[in-house]
């Protein structure tokens, strides 16, 4: 009985020792195994981001798969954002795999850097519907241009300023501002600030040349009119209008006819829908 008990004890001790040894070997293998010991990939824009159609963002994280000590699976690296692909050398990949302690893809044996990229095709970023401009005549549509040599994503600019908005607030930009479509379906300015929608400001109309003295003004005898400069004010919905203190006082100096209801529309003075030439001289 004593010998039997001793034999059982020795067997259990050997089994426990063997299991501890296996655990140690597994842990050591997991730590130094060639396809499980790749370091974090360096994030770089240059040389990795595709030239057109994709927005590459250095802030998007890359992550590896979770490996257990009992698994024979190798490390894999992919973008955390499910809508992003791994961009390496201008090509797109679902993942990179760790081989001999180096990240690699199907076309590249050794990968030193990469970046996460999301699609930015035309139509991904929203624009205002036509009704918005009918209700807000001081704004005009933001014209979206396709990607080109200098812009990897759809883009546009507002020469006279812009209003950028999201669900909670609006921000006014000065003239010449540029926006591009980002991979998160929002418009971003050159500083990386992002918005849901963009509208351009109308080009402001320059005051017409005041014709003084004119054939119809008081410097001539007989004087037909007393002339003074018109006012340029913001009318309904912020649309700039040209007006005088007296009704029907605003006239063309060329023929003494009344300039009816002059308003600024898309950077051009109009009267009853007809454009007024920029060099037209006016007298009230």
The residue extents of the domains of the chain are 42-119, 130-201, 209-283
Tell how far CA 103 is from the center of its chain. 31
pLDDT per residue of the chain (284 residues) written in tens, 0 to 9:
554 444 444 454 455 557 677 566 555 555 556 787 888 899 999 999 999 999 999 999 999 886 666 566 788 999 999 999 999 999 999 999 998 889 999 887 789 999 999 999 888 999 999 999 888 877 889 999 999 989 999 999 998 889 899 888 888 887 788 999 999 999 999 998 999 999 998 877 777 777 666 666 765 556 667 777 788 776 555 567 777 888 777 877 777 778 777 777 666 778 777 777 655 555 44
Contacts of 167 (CB under 8 A, 6+ apart): 196
The confidence score (pLDDT) of residue 8 equals 43
The confidence score (pLDDT) of residue 208 equals 72
Q: Contact, 133 vs 198, CB < 8 A? A: no
Alpha-carbon gap, residue 219 to 95, rounded angstroms: 83
The confidence score (pLDDT) of residue 221 equals 58
Q: Which of 141, 127, 145 is nearest to 52 (CA)?
A: 145
User: Model pTM?
Assistant: 0.62
């Amino acid at each position: 009985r004593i010998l039997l008990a001793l034999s059982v004890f020795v067997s259990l001790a050997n089994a426990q020792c063997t299991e501890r040894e296996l655990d140690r070997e597994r842990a050591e293998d997991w730590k130094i195994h060639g396809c499980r010991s790749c370091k974090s990939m360096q994030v770089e824009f240059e040389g990795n981001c595709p030239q057109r159609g994709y927005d590459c963002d250095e802030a998007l994280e890359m992550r590896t798969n979770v490996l257990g000590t009992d698994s024979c699976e190798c490390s894999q690296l992919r973008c955390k954002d499910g809508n992003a692909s791994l961009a390496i050398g201008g090509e797109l990949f679902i993942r990179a795999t760790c081989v001999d302690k180096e990240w690699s893809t199907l076309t590249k044996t050794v990968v030193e850097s990469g970046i996460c990229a999301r699609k930015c095709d035309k139509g991904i970023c929203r624009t205002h519907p036509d009704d918005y401009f009918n209700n807000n005549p001081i704004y005009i549509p933001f014209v979206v241009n396709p990607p080109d040599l200098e812009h990897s994503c759809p883009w546009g600019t507002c020469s006279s300023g812009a209003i950028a908005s999201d669900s909670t607030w609006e921000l006014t930009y000065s003239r010449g501002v540029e926006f591009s479509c980002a991979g998160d379906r929002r418009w971003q300015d050159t500083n990386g600030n992002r918005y849901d929608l963009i509208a351009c400001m109308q080009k402001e109309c320059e005051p017409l040349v005041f014709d003084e003295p004119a054939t119809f003004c008081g410097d001539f005898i007989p004087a037909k009119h007393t002339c003074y400069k018109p006012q340029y004010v913001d009318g309904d919905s912020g649309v700039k209008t040209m007006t005088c203190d007296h009704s029907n006082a605003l006239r063309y100096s060329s023929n003494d006819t009344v300039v009816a209801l002059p308003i600024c529309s898309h950077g051009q003075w109009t009267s009853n829908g007809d454009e007024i030439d920029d060099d037209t001289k006016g007298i009230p």
